Amino acid sequence: MRHQAALYVIGLLTQHEAHCFELHLEDCPICRAELSKLLLTSSQIGLAVKEEEPPQGLRERLAAHIDLSRRDQPLSDLPEKHEPAYIPSSDEPVKTQKPGIKTEPAKKIFSIPVAAPMPYPPRSRKAVFFIHAFIYAILAALGAYAFYLWQNVEKEIFELHSRIAVAEANRVDLTRQLESQREDMEKLERFQEMFHNPSVRVARLKGRPSSPNQTGAVMWNTLTGDITVIGTFDPVPEGMVYQFWFSASSERIYVGRLTSDRNGRILTTVKLNQYSLTASSGITAIMTLESENDLSSRADPATSWVASGKIE
């Protein structure tokens, strides 16, 4: 086995031969001593040669050659590196096994082969297609859901705008009604003041026998000439107006036009300033329903009067 020591040192033994030689070294001190000498000699071989400067580019070419050979050679074909077991030098005393005494075998140093990394299996075109289709389906579903949410938000915004428009219209209508009621309240306050004024004369308007529900009142301030008419009458037909007259003895005096709402309610103040009348003259207040264009051609009220009453 001594001839294998030199081959073992320079690494020319196979894995099986090197393993068998290492087992032999545990029981053969002669081979261990020979191996120690060879190891010492191989470590000093490099010192026996004259040092020379390597040519330029040798390191780069050598590294490129090694890299290229590693790329071309598969991992499974790479030779496994075996490190020799620890062999004591020739100067160290060799321990022999004495009878009856057990000695521990020399520890061996073995290299652990590193497994080559397993490459990921390549995906097929069909698998890639299904992955892309799944991603696109998710994106499409998210887009449809976002569009659905956007439509709902737009619908809610439109409904809110519609409610705001209706509320604004109701507010404007209520404002007009409040203004109208405020004006009516002011007129009623003036009516109350006139009712308690001693210079005011009052006449109660009564409807014709065919329409007894048409009633009202007339308040005439003899000092200022203001005449206030209040009452509830039939709605005014289109093209017709309510007119107010005073009848004193054989004279008919036109006082003015009475304004009514769509329900026929009247609360109007007109002024009598061109005639001098007294309450003791037996004046009668007459309310008629006439055409808007009929008053300019005559000075007497129409025979179809609506309501009348004596000034008290």
Query: What is the predicted pLDDT for the residue at 153?
Result: 92
Task: Say if residue 115 is in the same domain as residue 1.
Answer: yes
The alpha carbon dihedral of 289, 292, 294, 300 has a sign of: positive
Task: Say if residue 110 is in the same domain as residue 204.
Answer: no
CA distance 232 to 215: 6
Q: What is the mean pLDDT of the chain?
A: 76
* Residue 309 near residue 218, CB atoms below 8 Å: yes
Q: What are 155-168's pLDDT values in tens digits?
A: 999 999 999 999 99
Single residue among 119, 136, 168 that ends a domain in this structure: 119
Domain count, the chain: 2
Residues 6+ away with beta carbon under 8 Å from 306: 207, 208, 211, 214, 233, 234, 242, 287, 288, 289
Better-predicted residue by pLDDT, 136 or 53: 136
Across 81-85, 98-102, 124-128, 231-235, the highest mean pLDDT is recorded for 231-235
Better-predicted residue by pLDDT, 279 or 283: 283
Query: What is the predicted pLDDT for the residue at 206?
Result: 87
Residue 247 domain-assigned? yes
Task: Say if residue 203 is in the same domain as residue 114.
Answer: no
Task: Say if residue 201 is in the same domain as residue 96.
Answer: no
* Residue 39 near residue 10, CB atoms below 8 Å: no
302: domain CATH number is 2.60.40.200
Better-predicted residue by pLDDT, 40 or 83: 40
The alpha carbon dihedral of 286, 290, 292, 298 has a sign of: negative
Single residue among 94, 119, 144 that ends a domain in this structure: 119
Task: Say if residue 104 is in the same domain as residue 211.
Answer: no
Single residue among 92, 119, 146 that ends a domain in this structure: 119
Query: What is the predicted pLDDT for the residue at 248?
Result: 77
Query: What is the predicted pLDDT for the residue at 164?
Result: 93
Q: Taking 80 as the threshold, does the pLDDT of residue 218 lie above it?
A: yes
Task: Say if residue 109 is in the same domain as residue 209.
Answer: no
Q: Which domain holds residue 226?
A: 197-310
In the numeric block, the tokens 């609506």 are attached to 306
Virtual torsion, Cα 58, 61, 63, 66, nearest 10 deg: -120
Residue 227 domain-assigned? yes
**Per-residue pLDDT band at 302 (split at 50, 70, 90):** low
Task: Say if residue 209 is in the same domain as residue 109.
Answer: no
Q: Taking 50 as the threshold, does the pLDDT of residue 115 lie above it?
A: no
Across 13-27, 94-108, 285-299, the highest mean pLDDT is recorded for 13-27
Residue 42 domain-assigned? yes
Q: Taking 70 as the threshold, does the pLDDT of residue 292 lie above it?
A: yes
What is the percent of the chain where pLDDT is above 90?
7
Task: Say if residue 203 is in the same domain as residue 112.
Answer: no
Identify the weakest region by mean pLDDT among 78-82, 121-125, 194-198, 276-280.
Answer: 78-82
* Residue 243 near residue 229, CB atoms below 8 Å: no
Query: What is the predicted pLDDT for the residue at 298?
Result: 55
Better-predicted residue by pLDDT, 227 or 101: 227
Residue 257 domain-assigned? yes
Residue 258 domain-assigned? yes
Residue 148 domain-assigned? no
Q: Taking 80 as the threshold, does the pLDDT of residue 275 lie above it?
A: no
Q: Average the pLDDT over 89-98 and give the result.
A: 48
Please state the length of the chain: 312
Residue 67 domain-assigned? yes
Q: Average the pLDDT over 43-67 and give the result.
A: 76
Task: Say if residue 114 is in the same domain as residue 224.
Answer: no
Residue 147 domain-assigned? no
Better-predicted residue by pLDDT, 139 or 59: 139
